[in-house]
Amino acid sequence: MICRYIKANTKTDTFTSNHKNRKHMKKTFTSLKKTTSAIAALVISGMTINASAEKLSGNTASEIAGMMTTGWNLGNTFDATGGKNGGYGLDAETSWGQPETTQEMITAVRKAGFNTIRIPVSWGNHSDFEENPENFTISEEWMARVKEVVDYCYNEDLFVIINIHHDNNSGNIHYMPEEDESNALFIKGVWRQIAEAFKDYDQHLIFEIMNEPRLVGNSSEWWFDINKPSEEIATALEMINKFNQIGVDEIRGNGSAENKDRVIMCPGYAACYEGCMSPDFKLPTDETPNRLAVSLHAYRPYELCLGNTSTWKDSNKQDIDDYFKPIYEKFIVGMGVPVIIGEESCSARFSRSNRTNQEDRVKWAEAYYTITKKYGMPAILWDNNVYKSNRGEAHGHFNRKELTWYDQEFIQKIMDVLGIESVENISIDYSLSIGPNPATNTIYVSSDNELQNISIYSTSGTRVMFKEISGNNAEIGISMLNRGIYNAVVKTELGINIIKLILK
């Protein structure tokens, strides 16, 4: 989706684009036509809108979650714990069978309509923690490579999430009392170093303290009785609260303005329903108000998404709604805290005759994303690049070598539900510009090519305005719009352009 973050101030006569100037940009912010007020314009160049203007800052976690329409996971890549040297070198990135991540991959994901990328990262094998736990150092080359891929995402104006991922599997984190001091040292040291490395990155970058923190190998590894947790689970819940707090304190303690403003995702036990709905789960105290979000993973219904069932049932829709509604009521309604679904997907199953359950998966996507949109929870699709299989872990969506989608119909259904136009269906108008004119409560559209119409959508995908337009210039009243975030979809004779508006 061609989508950028335009901030319009209703009290002034200008607007700016919340986009940090990147070294790889093809064009720069250009001032174009003006009406009775001073109006700046974005020049759309090729497949990218580029601008040097103020960074994204000052938004609450709920506002950032509202901007995150939908996302994609760079799975089984930087979270991999393999490699020729036991995971210690850069070859770990490809050790689980993935190709090396490129800018072209990230651009292709953005073109499909995604505006958020989660980059799971494992750190322990790339450090000397075992030898020097109190003052360990993460490999400079590993940190630099993670930053390089984060920059790929910034080049596309995407939101990015990085975390501590498989370190709870590989031996650095155990949620048991005897491991408490070691756990605390690891989490504190990792987040201290991440916060320093990314101290100048704006609110497009989000930190997630841990991935699915749980008792690996325990009989209650993935589920537990909320009302009667075992002694081991109770201890783990307490430790997870502690480690979330340590991570938040290290990030804020870095001192940079960006880290004090940054949105931080905090998981409950296993990042599951029981983990966050348990009365023992507590969000950290935070010196910066309204910057925390709950991290939730939700493969629902489990049997279809991860288990042994390949068939969608109409009753599944109510099951999904019943799952999310209490979470919505507890956090979003009750506490004003957003919930970000860091992982979700529906397994692709192939039979011996090479038939797949694609029709059932498309029905799942329609129901699932309708419900997450209803409750205002941005959902990030898990992708491990495993497609042609008959296992519950077959969550390959994007063919990273070919830069194509294995299941285009599935991806398109997600975008249709969310009201997102993918770039594959967009022809770029090289000189289209759009900007607000606060003096007259209008927006101004200009193009060297013939204008046809404009639609404005809310972030939930509801169209709130449509107007036929013609010629090369148009001024459209927006008095019916409240302050908030919108997608402006402008159609010209060359195709469709999408620009995100933030009206303040």
Rounded to whole angstroms, the Cα distance separating 448 from 44 reads 12
Q: Enumerate the H helices of 424-493 as residue ranges.
A: none
Q: Enumerate the H helices of 330-398 as residue ranges.
A: 358-374
Give phi and psi for 299, each to the nearest 5: -90, 85
Q: SS3 sequence, 139-182?
A: CHHHHHHHHHHHHHHHHCCCEEEEECCHHHCCCCCCCCHHHHHH
Q: Enumerate the H helices of 198-312 as residue ranges.
A: 231-253, 257-261, 273-277, 302-305
Whose CA is closest to 444, among 493, 498, 490?
A: 490
Rounded to whole angstroms, the Cα distance separating 502 from 263 reads 18
Q: Enumerate the H helices of 68-219 as residue ranges.
A: 103-111, 140-155, 180-197
CA angle 361, 270, 339 (to 5 degrees): 70
Q: Is 343 a catalytic residue?
A: yes
- Let me know: does 251 contact 264? Beta carbons within 8 Å: yes
Name the one residue in this structure whose structure tokens are 């491991």.
179
Instruction: Single out the catalytic residue among 93, 343, 344, 421.
Output: 343
Alpha-carbon torsion, ordered 376, 380, 382, 385, to 10 deg = 140
Classify residue 306 as exposed, middle or buried by CB count within 10 Å of its CB (0-12, 13-18, 19+): buried
Instruction: Single out the catalytic residue among 208, 212, 250, 344.
Output: 212
Rounded to whole angstroms, the Cα distance separating 327 from 371 reads 12
Q: Is 212 a catalytic residue?
A: yes
- Let me know: does 283 contact 296? Beta carbons within 8 Å: no
How far the first Cα of the chain sits from its last, in Å, is 23
Residues with a catalytic annotation lie at 212, 343
